[in-house]
Amino acid sequence: MSLSWMAWTVPTAIFFGTIICLLIAMRIWEYVSPGGSPRVGILRFETTRGDRLFLSLLGSAFIHLAWLGLVGPDLWWALGLSLLYAVGVFRWV
């Protein structure tokens, strides 16, 4: 199978590897502590751990896109902001 249609660079591999590791970590967390007790946070709808992971990834994508459009290609600060956002989502959403 030819994968030449995709620019498989090191950052691309790290990106997809990180998402795979997050999914594996969530599976292990679910195995250790089943259920995850859905809760209602500041958004006023019930979320599970998987929902909060999805919201974190989606929000991080928007943070990075906004950073690229407004600031430029230096994404280290956007990464830090995204990590803080993810911690906030898992804590309060």
The tokens describing 49, both together, are 């751990």
Burial class for 30, CB neighbours closer than 10 Å (0-12, 13-18, 19+) = middle
Q: Residue 35 corresponds to which tokens in the numbers above?
A: 């259920």
Asked if residue 52 belongs to a domain, the reply is yes
Task: Give pLDDT tens digits along the chain (93 positions).
Answer: 666 777 777 777 888 899 999 999 999 998 998 877 889 999 899 999 989 999 999 999 999 999 999 999 888 999 999 999 999 999 999
pTM for the whole thing? 0.81
Q: Which helix or strand (DSSP H or E) is residue 89 part of?
A: helix 76-92
- Please indicate, yes or no, if residue 4 is contained in any of the structural domains: no
Q: What is the model's pLDDT at position 62?
A: 96
Identify whether 15 is part of a domain: yes
Domain count, the chain: 1
- Print the domain residue range for 52: 10-92
**What's the pLDDT score for residue 83?**
95
3-state helix, strand, coil in the chain (%, to 5): 65, 5, 30
Show the tokens assigned to 89: 């989502």
One-letter amino acid of 72 = G
- Check residue 2 and give its pLDDT: 67
